[in-house]
Amino acid sequence: MNQLDQLRRYTTVVADTGNFHQLARFAPQDATTNPSLILKAVLHPDCAPLLREAVAARRGEPPDEIADALLVRFGLEILKIIPGRVSTEVDARLSFDCAATVARGLRLIDAYEAAGVARERVLIKIAATWEGIQAAAALERRGIHCNLTLLFAFSQAVACADAGVRLISPFVGRIYDWAKKAAGSGWDEAANAGPADPGVRSVAHIYAYYKKFGIETEIMGASFRSTGQITALAGCDLLTISPELLAALQASEAPLARALDPQAAQAADIHAVTYNESSFRYALNEDAMATEKLAEGIRAFAADASRLDALIAQEAGA
C-alpha cells in the first residue's frame, strides 16, 4: 500500500489546487483553492477557457463580480470530480472588513446555489484576522460553513473554535519557513524534522487542544514543504496537499503510522482559554511569526487577486 493510501486510513485527504484536471489521479475527498492557485490555473492552457467564458458571460459587470464568478466556475468544475467540498476564498483585500467579507461570502454561496450546488459542499475561505473570524461566525449562523485560512497562531485557532467555525487551515510550511530563516546558520534540519518540525508542533498543539475539550471545528493542516511534514501529522482531521506532494506520497510504499490520536490528546496538559478582541490582538501581536506570516499571506493573496483582476480587464478589452 502506498503512503497516500495509508494516510487515508487516518486522515481525510484534500487536494490543494485550482487545476481540476489534476484531481482524478489522486481521488481526494475535498479540494481547496486560493487566489494564487486560481491565478496559476487560468494561466494554464487547459484552464484558460474558463477565464474567457466568465468574462464573456458577465461582460460590463464590475471586476470583483467577474472574479467571483470565475472562482465559482472553477469550484463547479472541481465539484464534478470530487465527492466532498470545495473551499472558495473571499478576496483577501477584504480581510479587515467584517461586513464586506460577509457580503462576499453570501454572494459566493448564492452563485453556487444558483448553479445547483448545495451550500454543504462549499466552504467559504477567509483569512483568520479578528474581522475574518467574526465574519465567519456570522456566516456560520446562517448555515454557511467556513474555512479559516492563514492560521499561524494558537490564539487564532482558539478564536475560530469559539466562533463556531467549521474548519481551520493551520499553515505548516510557512511556520517552518519562518523558523528556519530566523535561526539562520544555527538551523539544524535533522533536529527540526518530523514531530519536532515547528509547523508540525503547532498543528499538533491545536489538535490536542481541540480534542481534549471536544471542539468540533475540523483541523486541516496546509502549506506543506515535504512529505515528512505530512506523515508527521497523519491522524489530523484533514490535510490539504499539493499535487506534487500527493504524487510523492503515491510513489512511496514506506510504512506510515498514525501520529496524532484523539485519545492520546485527552492526556495533554492544556488549560482552556478564550479571547476577546483586545486579548486576541495582543496575543497575536506577541507572536512575531504569526503576525509577520499573516500580514505577508494577506499581501500575497491580495497581489494575486489584483493580477487576476488585470487578466479579467485584459480579456474584457480583447
CATH number of the domain bearing residue 130: 3.20.20.70
- Residue at 175: amino acid letter: I
Question: pTM score > 0.85 for this model?
Answer: yes
CA of residue 262 relative to chain centroid, distance:
22
Note the pLDDT of residue 143.
98
Phi, psi of 52 (to 5 degrees): -60, -40
Q: Which three cell numbers stand for residue 34?
A: 486560493
Phi, psi of 193 (to 5 degrees): -105, 165
DSSP SS3 for 16: strand
Q: Which three cell numbers stand for residue 101?
A: 467579507
Rounded to whole angstroms, how far apart are CA atoms 146 and 207?
A: 18
Count up the domains in the chain and report the number: 1
Note the pLDDT of residue 317.
80
Contact 15, 238 (CB under 8 A): no
- What parts of the chain have a pLDDT lower than 50? none
Name the H helices within 142-226.
154-162, 172-183, 198-212
- Residue at 25: amino acid letter: R
| Cα within 13 Å of Cα(266), Cβ side | 3
CA of residue 214 relative to chain centroid, distance:
22
CA dihedral 258→263→268→274, nearest 10 degrees, is 110
189 CB-contact burial (10 Å; exposed 0-12 / middle 13-18 / buried 19+)? exposed
- Residue at 41: amino acid letter: A
Domain that holds residue 271: 3-316
Q: Which three cell numbers stand for residue 255?
A: 510504512
Name the H helices within the chain.
3-8, 35-42, 48-57, 63-79, 98-114, 130-141, 154-162, 172-183, 198-212, 227-231, 243-251, 262-265, 277-286, 288-316
- Catalytic residue list: 125
- Residue at 176: amino acid letter: Y
Rounded to whole angstroms, how far apart are CA atoms 102 and 94?
A: 10
